[in-house]
Chains A and B, each alone.
Chain A
């Protein structure tokens, strides 16, 4: 007899064909960045405006962080807004455009030539972000309910667009003076549009939905999320205003305080979700993700130090700027991706391989599709490498930096090992 599933929702998730290339690309970008770090760790004893540091920064921010987030969000946005993604084809085109644009841009930084490869790469990335934004906007327009998570994600994407537009302007500004000051002067604006506008808003918007969901928590507090939304956006807007139009750097403490309060509220939200969880055991990928919430406060400490040095003395702050950038990209963003990859990718693969076998025969658990022991070693190598590298920057010690870079490289090799194992998984009957 024919049996059926009469549903309105089950086929509404985004196809694995759209999502998986982003995961694969991001994993390779992490490997490339750590490889480059291992060969260029001595660059971190000098000024942060160094071709290799710029290259590593953009591989990490775009190839690793952004590509992973774009891929994961194509999968998760339908969960957040309870509507189907408008166009999987647009999503695939956005992958191709960003996938080509990022290496071109990074190559431009590596050879420190802001000519056609960097410019063309920048345009490709901009086109990709525009497609993502349009796809998101149309998908969200069809959603009937006001959804705080969707506001976070959409606003974050607007900030990403602003980051890329400013970045492209800075690239052109090297060869054609379009802006009143040098590109270096605008770097803090470009960087913080990306850090606070894109990464922070997006991670909080998605995390505030996923963390209680994965913990099966009773906790829910939409109002606190709106406060966080207001504080971070307000903080970022005021930062841009004060940075561009005021010479008195004391004012920069205002946006810093606003964002710090936003972060504290998010940490409180996560803590309450954790305390009110029904599922008592917290698995390792989730532990790493929760650790990344705490890691949010480390850049804040560096930011305050940088600001105080800027306000009170002529002392150079390049050391702390390098450390600040490192703890954001290799600390907070990397920790959340390392954790969340193994909370999302095994399920995408399981769905791809086993969804028609479920119920007919015993199938493995999604968490059995990757090697937990490799995950543990990856986490240890990562944590040790991260702490050592921070120490190496602050102590300006090349041996420590080199050893730490090797540990981070090991973490990326182990991460890729597990990701490749997942991507190549074939059906196994238990």
Chain B
């Protein structure tokens, strides 16, 4: 799934940071799992908006995953205000897992 962004270059850096955030149950990072929908940058106000989802709306690990995503982005864009928003439309489904993610799950 392609991540929507208003700054491709910075989004690449953000996605690399988010690849360090792993869903503890599945063992796969949240980017390849397809949880990250959109990353936008408000350059003037130094704000970063990350819109993501969870595999299920009331995922018991949800708080940890979103917290870890916010921390990873804060570490990467020091000084920026990081806002992680959850969206459940469209809901996550297995089609959102990337090829690399599928390969990982095939071998794991």
B32-68, CB < 8 A from A: 46, 54-68
B26 CB within 8 Å of chain A: yes
A376 CB within 8 Å of chain B: no
Q: Is the interface of B mostly helix, strand, loop or mixed?
A: mixed
A313 CB within 8 Å of chain B: no
- A8 with B86, Cβ < 8 A, contacts A79-B56, A279-B26, A351-B60 known: yes
- A6 with B105, Cβ < 8 A, contacts A358-B67, A359-B67 known: no
The answer to whether A5 and B80 touch across the interface, beta carbons within 8 angstroms, is no
* 0/1 interface trace, chain A 76-92, chain B, CB 8 Å (1 if under): 00110011100000000
B84 CB within 8 Å of chain A: yes
A144 CB within 8 Å of chain B: no
Minimum CB–CB distance from A412 to chain B (whole Å) comes to 26
The chain A residue sitting closest to B62, CB to CB, is: A10
Query: How far does the alpha carbon of A361 sit from the alpha carbon of B12 in the complex, in Å?
Result: 22
Report chain B residues within 8 Å CB of A5: 63, 66-67, 70, 83-84, 86
A281-316, CB < 8 A from B: 281
Report chain B residues within 8 Å CB of A278: 94, 97, 102, 105-106
Partner pick for A358 among B68, B74, B86, CB 8 A cutoff: B68
Report chain B residues within 8 Å CB of A347: 24-25, 60-61
A12 CB within 8 Å of chain B: yes
The answer to whether B62 and A216 touch across the interface, beta carbons within 8 angstroms, is no
The answer to whether A359 and B62 touch across the interface, beta carbons within 8 angstroms, is no
Query: How far does the alpha carbon of A8 sit from the alpha carbon of B79 in the complex, in Å?
Result: 26
The chain A residue sitting closest to B87, CB to CB, is: A8
Query: How far does the alpha carbon of A356 sit from the alpha carbon of B70 in the complex, in Å?
Result: 11
B73 CB within 8 Å of chain A: yes
The chain B residue sitting closest to A361, CB to CB, is: B71
Instruction: Tally chain A residues at the interface, Cβ within 8 Å.
Output: 40
The answer to whether A358 and B65 touch across the interface, beta carbons within 8 angstroms, is yes
A142 CB within 8 Å of chain B: no
Query: How far does the alpha carbon of A213 sit from the alpha carbon of B55 in the complex, in Å?
Result: 9
- A351 with B61, Cβ < 8 A, contacts A79-B56, A281-B108, A366-B25 known: yes
Report chain B residues within 8 Å CB of A360: 71
The answer to whether A280 and B107 touch across the interface, beta carbons within 8 angstroms, is yes
The answer to whether B79 and A359 touch across the interface, beta carbons within 8 angstroms, is no
A9 CB within 8 Å of chain B: yes
Q: Is the interface of A mostly helix, strand, loop or mixed?
A: loop
The number of chain B residues touching the other chain, given as a range, is 35 or more
The answer to whether A9 and B86 touch across the interface, beta carbons within 8 angstroms, is yes
The answer to whether A6 and B83 touch across the interface, beta carbons within 8 angstroms, is yes
Partner pick for B74 among A3, A10, A348, A350, CB 8 A cutoff: A3
Minimum CB–CB distance from B35 to chain A (whole Å) comes to 13
The chain A residue sitting closest to B56, CB to CB, is: A79
The answer to whether B85 and A1 touch across the interface, beta carbons within 8 angstroms, is no
A247 CB within 8 Å of chain B: no
Query: How far does the alpha carbon of A3 sit from the alpha carbon of B69 in the complex, in Å?
Result: 11
The chain B residue sitting closest to A11, CB to CB, is: B63
The answer to whether A13 and B60 touch across the interface, beta carbons within 8 angstroms, is yes
Report chain B residues within 8 Å CB of A217: 94
B82 CB within 8 Å of chain A: yes
The answer to whether A359 and B70 touch across the interface, beta carbons within 8 angstroms, is yes
The answer to whether B58 and A9 touch across the interface, beta carbons within 8 angstroms, is yes
Query: How far does the alpha carbon of A218 sit from the alpha carbon of B97 in the complex, in Å?
Result: 12
Minimum CB–CB distance from B23 to chain A (whole Å) comes to 10
Minimum CB–CB distance from A175 to chain B (whole Å) comes to 45
The answer to whether B63 and A355 touch across the interface, beta carbons within 8 angstroms, is yes
A2 CB within 8 Å of chain B: yes
Instruction: Supply 15 A–B pairs (Cβ within 8 Å), ascending by A.
Output: A1-B46, A1-B82, A4-B84, A6-B83, A9-B62, A10-B86, A13-B59, A213-B55, A280-B105, A281-B108, A347-B61, A350-B24, A355-B67, A359-B72, A360-B71
Binding site for A on B (CB under 8 A): 21, 24-27, 46, 54-75, 79-86, 88, 94, 97, 102, 105-108
Taking A7-B85, A351-B63 as known contacts, 13 extra A-B pairs with beta carbons closer than 8 A to each other, sorted by chain A number, are A1-B79, A3-B74, A4-B70, A5-B66, A5-B83, A10-B67, A218-B94, A278-B105, A280-B106, A350-B24, A355-B67, A358-B68, A359-B72
